[in-house]
Amino acid sequence: MEPYVTIITTTDNIVKSGNADAFNLLVSLLDLQTYPKIEHIVIDKMSTDGTVEMLKDYKNKGYLQFYSERDTGKFSAFNKGVMRAKGKYISFLSCDDFIHDITAIYDVVNLMEANNADFSFAPAYCRHPDGYVFLFEPSMYNAFQVMPGSRQAMFFKKSMIEKENYFDEKFKLMSDFDFIIRIMMKKYKGIYFNTNYVTYKLGEKGLENPQRVEDESKAIFFKNYKSLYPLNDDILEEMVKTSNFPQPLLQKLATCFPQEDKELFLQRCEQMKEIRINALKNQK
């Protein structure tokens, strides 16, 4: 028997922001999915621009359920959606993201069921606000250093999200990164879905607030790694800016992967450090 899948989307005055057409594309393509048991939950941040009326129309036509209420940010809204979800598997899409492969959910669910996976990850097209598109290929071996893939191209077991106490709402921009680190450190089982099925827009808030991204990343590293290695501001600065992690810390994080993957993990971490150091040099 096929399990339910829940797609959670947050909205906030999307009519005024010009995202109504993008949201319509998201809803329309979800409706075309070949998987039969999909619910779409929208958590709206008390929009006042006609968004609620638009959502009512979608709801009346059977496309989605929505709730319009105050929240403290995107991840607070995601948590509210998870609490209301009936799906065994959950994915989080913003109002201007969409699943362009209509068989994707069917294929992802079958893969996760067959492998008893706790989460899945896949490549995705990323639309940059400057107008170009690039392929974001995931690298879970780098998950302890940088965001390892597109959150929009991941599915998560609801039971895992509940067990790990949801997204940490104090992180307004990077809570998905924190959550991925946590489930990797707990050795939950991930499965790679080798198909690009999602197109998403790179978050502008992160681009507009690079210092906030750095500060949250430092706090996330300290929160998750402080019991493994003594961290100070100088070490955290290096970790965030260049992915230069202390070797004893990397050795401990390597135990989160199978023993046969340890050397590959360390190689990928070194490669990421070199890439980011060179990128910083080229900026100067």
158 and 276 share one domain: no
Q: How many structural domains compose the chain?
A: 2
75 inside domain: yes
Q: What pLDDT score was predicted for residue 65?
A: 96
pLDDT in tens, 113-125: 999 999 999 999 9
Residue 200 reports pLDDT greater than 80: yes
In whole numbers, what is the pLDDT of the chain averaged over residues?
A: 95
236 inside domain: yes
233 and 166 share one domain: no
171 inside domain: yes
Question: Against a cut of 0.85, is the pTM above it?
Answer: yes
Identify the band that residue 284 occupies on the pLDDT scale cut at 50, 70 and 90: low
Sign for the pseudo-dihedral over CA of 149, 242, 257, 172 = negative
What's the domain range around 138?
5-209
143 and 235 share one domain: no
100 inside domain: yes
218 inside domain: no
pLDDT in tens, 134-184: 999 999 999 999 999 999 999 999 999 999 999 999 999 999 999 999 999
Q: What is the CATH number of the domain that holds 136?
A: 3.90.550.10
50 and 175 share one domain: yes
Work out whether strand 133-136 and strand 5-11 pair parallel, antiparallel, or are unpaired.
Answer: unpaired
Which of 184, 209, 234 finishes a domain? 209
123 and 239 share one domain: no
12 and 119 share one domain: yes
178 and 234 share one domain: no
Dist. CA 182–CA 210, nearest whole Å? 23
What are residue 90's DSSP bridge partners? 6, 156
69 and 194 share one domain: yes
Residue 245 reports pLDDT greater than 70: yes
18 and 152 share one domain: yes
Q: What pLDDT score was predicted for residue 98?
A: 96
Is residue 120 classed as helix, strand or coil in its secondary structure? Answer: strand
pLDDT in tens, 55-95: 999 999 999 999 999 888 999 999 999 999 999 999 999 99
